[in-house]
Structure 1
Amino acid sequence: MKVNTRREGAALIVEMENAPVNAIGQAMRAGLAEVLDSLPINGVTRVVLTGAGKAFAAGADAREFDGPALDPQLNDVVNRIERSETPWIAAINGVALGGGGELALACRYRIARPGTVLGFPEVNLGIVPGSGATQRLPRLIGMKAALALIPTGQAIKAEEAETLGLIDGISDDPVQVAVHLDEGSLELANPICDLPRPEREDDAIAAAFAVVAKKLPNQIAPHRAVELIAATSERPMAEGLADERQTFLDLRVGDQARALRHMFFAERAAKAPDWLTEAPAPLDQIAVVGGGTMGAGIAYALLNAGKRVVLLETDAAGVVRAQENVEKIIDASLKRGLISEAGAEDRRARITYSADYGEAAACTLAIEAAFESMDVKREVFAKLEAALPAEAILASNTSYLDLDEIAATVSDPSRVVGLHFFAPAHIMKLLEIVRGAASSDRALATGYALGKALRKIPVLAGVCDGFIGNRILARYREAADTVFMDGSTPWEVDEAMVDFGYAMGPYEAQDLSGLDIAHANRRRQDATRDPNRRYIPIADRMVELGKLGRKTGAGWYRYPGGNGKVEDPIVADLALEEAHFAGITRTDYGADEIRGRLVLAMINEACDILNEGIAASARDVDLVTVFGYGFPRWRGGLMHYADSLGVANIVAKLEELAAEDPVVWTPSPLLRECLDKGVTLAEVR
Structure 2
Amino acid sequence: MPVSSQIVNDIGLIVFSNPPLNPISATAGIPQGIAAELDALEAQPGVKAIVLASDGKMFSAGADISEFDRNAAEVGGPIRALIARLDACRLPLVAAIQGSALGGGLEVALGCDYRVAAKDARFALPEVSLGLIPGAGGTQRLPRLVGAVRGLEWIAAGRTISAAEALEAGLADALTGGDLRAEALAFAESLAAKGRRRPRDLPLNDEGLEEAIAALRARPQNPGLRPAVEAAIAAVAAGQGPDFDQALAEEYRLFDALLVSEPARALRYAFGAERAVARVPGLDPALSAAPIARVAVIGAGTMGIGISLAIVQAGLQARVIDLKPEALERARAQSEATILRNRDRGRVSEAAAAAQIAALSYSSDFADIKGHDLVIEAVFEEMSVKEQVFKTLDRLADPGTILASNTSTLDVDQIAAFTARPEDVVGLHFFSPANLMKLLEVVRGAKTSAQTLATVMGFARQIRKVGVVAGVCDGFIGNRMFEEYLRQAYLLLEEGALPAQVDGAMERWGMAMGPLRTMDLAGQDIGWNIRKRRAIEQPDRPYSRIPDLICEKGWFGQKTGRGYYIYEGAGAKPQTDPEVEAMILAESARLGLTRREISDEEIVERCLYALTNEGARILEEGIAARPLDIDTVWMNGYGFPRFRGGPMFYADRVGLPQVAARMGQFAEGHHGWAWEVAPLILRLTAEGRGFAALNEASK
Residue 207 of structure 1 and its aligned partner are, at CA, apart by 2.4
Structure 1 residues 282 and 118, CA gap change in structure 2 (3 angstroms): closer
CA contact (8 A) 2:488 2:607 kept: yes
Q: Paired residue for 1:28, among 24, 27, 30?
A: 30
Deviation at 1:575, TM superposition (A): 1.4
**CA distance, structure 2, for counterparts of residue 452 and residue 274 of structure 1:** 17
Give me the whole-angstrom Cα distance separating, in 1, the residues matched to 2:13 and 2:94: 10
Amino acid in structure 2 at the alignment position of 1:81? L
Pair 1:266-2:273 in alignment: yes
Corresponding residue for residue 360 of structure 2: 351
In the other structure, the counterpart of 2:250 is 243
Contact 1:198 1:232 in 2 (8 A): no
- The match for 2:62 is 59
**Structure 2 counterpart of 1:158, one-letter code:** A
Deviation at 1:572, TM superposition (A): 2.0
1:680 corresponds, among 676, 687, 690, to 690
Q: Please state how far the C-alpha of 1:215 moved relative to its aligned partner.
A: 4.0
User: Partner residue of 1:130?
Assistant: 135
Between the aligned partners of 2:592 and 2:204, the Cα distance in structure 1 is 69
Superposition map of 1:400-549 within 5 A: 400-531=409-540, 533-549=541-557
**RMSD after superposition:** 2.0
* 1:87 maps to 2:89: no
Question: For 1:294, which of 293, 300, 303 is the aligned residue?
Answer: 303
Alignment partners' CA distance in 2, 1:90 and 1:365: 45
Match runs of 1:358-377 below 5 Å = 358-377=367-386
Greater Cα offset, 94-103 or 71-80: 71-80
Percent sequence identity over matched residues?
39
The structural deviation recorded for 1:72 is: 5.5
More deviation, 238-247/192-201 = 192-201
Q: Contact 2:102 / 2:123 at 8 angstroms: preserved in 1?
A: yes
Classify 1:55/1:19 alpha carbon distance in 2 versus 1 (closer, same or farther; 3 Å).
same
* Stretch moving more, 606-615 or 670-679: 670-679
Counterpart in the other structure of 2:214: 206
Change in CA separation of 1:240 and 1:113 when aligned onto 2, cut-off 3 Å? same
Cα offset for 1:41?
2.8
Give the conservation status (yes or no) of the 8 Å contact 2:238–2:247.
yes
Instruction: Quote the offset at 1:7 in angstroms.
Output: 0.4
| Per-residue deviation, 1:188 | 8.3
Q: Which amino acid aligns with 1:298?
A: I
- 8 A Cα contact 1:33 1:72, kept in partner: no
| Aligned mates of 2:279, 2:115 — CA distance in 1 | 39
2:568 match: 560
Aligned partner of residue 212 in structure 2, secondary structure: helix
**What is the 5 A alignment of 1:604-683?**
604-660=613-669, 661-683=671-693
Give the C-alpha shift of residue 132 in structure 1: 0.9
2:182 paired with 1:176: yes
Shift of 1:110: 0.9
Contact 1:158 1:170 (C-alpha < 8 Å) held by counterparts: yes
Change (3 A) 1:57 1:391: closer
More displaced 10-residue stretch of structure 1: 118-127 or 438-447: 438-447
Alpha-carbon spacing, 1:279–1:197, altered in 2? closer, same or farther (3 Å): closer
Counterpart-to-counterpart distance in 2, 1:494 and 1:135: 42
Residue-pair matches, total: 683
**Alignment check: 8 A CA contact 2:305 2:331 kept:** yes
- Which residue identity does 2:35 align to in structure 1? A
Name the amino acid aligned to 1:341.
Answer: E
Q: Does the 8 A contact of 1:56 with 1:100 survive in 2?
A: yes
- Structure 1 residues 414-423 or 464-473, which shifts more? 414-423
User: Secondary structure of the equivalent of 1:609?
Assistant: helix
* Contact kept? 2:523, 2:557, Cα under 8 Å: yes
Q: In the TM superposition, what whole-angstrom CA distance separates every residue of 1:424-458 from its partner, at most 9, and x where no partner exists?
A: 22222221111112222232222212112223222
Task: Give the corresponding residue for 2:48.
Answer: 45
CA separation in 2, counterparts of 1:413 and 1:109? 59
Q: Deviations over 1:280-320 (max 9, x none)?
A: 55422211111222111111221123222221012111111
Structure 2 unaligned segments of length 5 or more: list them: none
Structure 1 pair 36–279 and aligned structure 2 pair: CA distance change class (3 A): closer
Secondary structure of 2:16's partner?
A: strand
SS of corresponding position for 2:239:
helix
Distance 1:214 1:274 in 2: 37
Q: CA offset at residue 534 of structure 1?
A: 4.0
More deviation in 106-115 or 26-35?
26-35
1:597 Cα shift?
Answer: 0.8
Q: 1:72 to 1:576 in 2, by over 3 A?
A: closer
Structure 1 residues 47 and 306: alpha-carbon distance in aligned structure 2, compared to 1, 3 A threshold: same
Corresponding residue of 1:167: 172
What secondary structure is seen at the aligned counterpart in 1 of 2:387? helix
Task: With the length of structure 1 as denominator, give the TM-score of the two structures.
Answer: 0.95
CA contact (8 A) 2:505 2:604 kept: yes
Report what 1:146 is aligned to: 151
Query: Structure 1 pair 47/185, CA: closer, same or farther in 2 (3 Å)?
Result: closer
Question: Quick check: 2:375–2:404 contact (8 Å CA) kept in 1?
Answer: yes
Deviates more, 1:222-231 or 1:51-60: 222-231
Q: What amino acid maps onto 2:689 in structure 1? A: V
Note if contact 2:619-2:626 (Cα within 8 Å) is conserved in structure 1: yes
Q: Aligned residue for 1:18?
A: 18
Q: Structure 1 residues 325, 683: closer, same or farther in 2, change over 3 A?
A: same
Q: Is the 8 A contact 1:514 1:550 kept in 2?
A: yes
Q: For structure 1, which segment, 81-90 or 13-22, has the greater mean C-alpha deviation from structure 2 after superposition?
A: 81-90
SS of match in other structure, 2:348: coil
User: What stretches of structure 1 of length at least 5 have no aligned partner?
Assistant: none
